[in-house]
Amino acid sequence: MSEDFSKLGFAKTYVYPALALFLIPIACLIFYEYVQSSFDQQFFEATVADLRSDPTIAPEDKAAAIEFLQSHRLSDMLVSSHPQDVAFRQAQDSEFLFYQLSVVWAIRISWACILAGIAAFVMTGIGVLISLQSQAMQYTSLLIGWMTLRIFCTLEVIAQGLLIFSLSFWIPAFFFDIYIVKLIIVFACIALGAIGVVIAAIFKRPDDDFVVQGEILTREMAPQLWYDLELLSGKMQTAPPDHVIAGIDDNFFVTQLPIKVQGKDEQIQTLTGRSLFVSLSLLKKLPGQEADAVLLHELAHFSGNDTLYSQRIAPLLARYDHFLQGLYEGGLSMPVFYFAVMFRALYEISLGSLSRQREFRADRLAAEGTSPHDMAHALLRITAYSQYRAELEKEFFDAEEVHQQVNLSERIDGGFLAYTSAFVDKHNVGDLASSHPFDSHPPLKQRLEAIGFSATPDAMRNALYDESIGTWFQKIEAATILERDQWTAYEEQFRQFHENILAYRYLPANESEQELVEKFFPPITHVAAKDRPVEFDYEKVTYEDWDRPIYYREIESMSFENEWGARLDLVVKRNGKNKTIKLPLSKKQNEQQELMGTLQNYYARAASAIAYQQSQNEPEPSIAATDTFSFDS
């Protein structure tokens, strides 16, 4: 997650919304205190009037009774354990007691929510401060925080749900002397729905599988690589990895989390234990000592138990993020959601801080195992490679025509050296950071300075100028074939994805563009009421009862109606005026869903294409010569 952690930015983004946690309890406290005060006053006045009008009571007894009532409110007597107050309660009507005590308990619940919220704010702050001390303290603090917070949030949602439910009765009853059964039922359903969603989110297991594209390098496939890895592991005083995966991503990483490796045969194999991912494409670019430095950096994460704590913390964060989604979807739980988001954001500060400390430590150990120049040069080369690859991918992605071939690897290999000569001048290199699937890396300038490398433009240019094939790449038998096969598969996936994206960009102006759009959004016919056909294509929907088709660009809104038979009401804009056109639906639910699903998909494609073309400042092509209707999304 991305945060603005400046003092004012963090407060505006997280702290201020989190204060919404107190909105419902404080509002309820004010209301119920007012109700209770009114009841106390009414009881006092009625009782005093009865005393004064009773001729059988002596004046001095009346005075004593009135003085007692002035110092003993009704609300106090309802909760007091004094025998006289207990006797008073026992003498009251059960319905009277129920209503009075419901107000008392509403006030108590409001106070409990407020005080618990304050305690949660304090405990969150203390927990984050503790978590900054070490990885062990971070894990312990996050574990306790997660266990405590989910209980707090769940109880807070239940309590605030009860308060909202009680208001649905008491506001009409107190101000208008009525109660509305439907209103009470609606708010009861809202409260129960929020509670149910939140409780379900606690126990539902999140889908946190991590899938890696690559090939598992066995010792038979790369004996020299494994031998040298063991030597480097000994230098770093850690055990070698259990698995090595070779891919074409623009990074290296280690992990102890279970990962699913998908090879060229599309089969997925799950690996557990300590895994090292190496980039074949980067190993080919990195000279021997630079590759040593990068691999030592990754092995340092094993020696520092970084991957062990990541293995423990990652499931906690996944479950917490899943719990956040439940709070968000609960509706009534939104105030609690904002508080929980603040808790997550505060821990992101801790996670980011220790993550950067881990990276600095790994850089330092790698520089000590090779040299600061080797480590610095490797960081520069990897950053330049990632930037170049990203720029080329963006160029391919932004193209407005179908690619017959995406020769990304060929472009990288052929142009990387020339790119590096201008890389330092084109970019603010110090602000760039290398990519990583698990950790956030400090900016490059900070990492270079931390290992004592003077990051002058000339020094960076000299570091990047090398076109030899890396020695570690040559330690992998059939490395060239492995890399080529993975690039071939990746480039074809990229080409197909780009082709699909074009279908969401085009408002077809020629046959080839129309052919591409229809490849993904072909003409299709569904069944409406009485088995009558409804025809869809990429630009319009046609029904025989309409005087002309409805173009998706005309549709202002759609709604499903179920009175007097199921139908869709389509509000379209023609000649500057809105008009509702009805589409009666089949009685069969599966046919209804198929028709509405197609309409939503085809409409979304047209809306996306119109928005894209408008963003490109291109005039919208006319779909039909007689139609000049505009689409307002």
- CA–CA separation, 444 and 430 (whole Å): 5
- CA–CA separation, 529 and 99 (whole Å): 53
- CA–CA separation, 393 and 398 (whole Å): 8
- CA–CA separation, 158 and 154 (whole Å): 6
According to the model, what pLDDT value does residue 299 have?
95
**pTM above threshold 0.75:** yes
DSSP letter for 622, please: P
Q: What is each CA distance from 435 to 249, 440, 613, in whole angstroms? A: 10, 8, 32
Residue 91's CB: how many other CB atoms inside 10 A? 7
Q: What are the strands of the beta sheet with 550-551, ordered from one edge?
A: 524-527, 533-536, 540-543, 550-551
Q: Which two tokens mark 126?
A: 């203390």
According to the model, what pLDDT value does residue 618 have?
55
Q: What is each CA distance from 317 to 10, 98, 323, 351, 442, in whole angstroms? A: 20, 44, 10, 11, 21
Q: Which residues of 137-174 are buried (b: 16+ CB within 10 A; e: fewer)?
A: bbbbbbeebbeebbebbbebbbbbbbbbbbbbbbeeeb
- CA–CA separation, 251 and 283 (whole Å): 10
Output phi, psi for 253, to 5 deg. -160, 160
- CA–CA separation, 386 and 380 (whole Å): 10
According to the model, what pLDDT value does residue 604 have?
95
- CA–CA separation, 220 and 126 (whole Å): 52
276: CB partners within 8 A, 6+ apart: 229, 241, 243, 244, 245, 252, 253, 254, 295, 298, 299
pLDDT > 90 fraction of the chain, expressed in percent and rounded: 50
Q: Which two tokens mark 19?
A: 């204060």
- CA–CA separation, 283 and 408 (whole Å): 17
Q: Which two tokens mark 543?
A: 């029904």
Intervals of the chain under pLDDT 70 = 1-8, 426-441, 455, 459, 463, 465-467, 617-633
CATH number of 511-615: 2.30.29.30
According to the model, what pLDDT value does residue 440 have?
58
Q: Among 224, 238, 369, 216, which Cα is nearest to 296's?
A: 369
DSSP letter for 12, please: I
**Which sequence spans correspond to the domains of the chain?**
7-203, 213-311+356-494, 511-615
- CA–CA separation, 456 and 373 (whole Å): 13
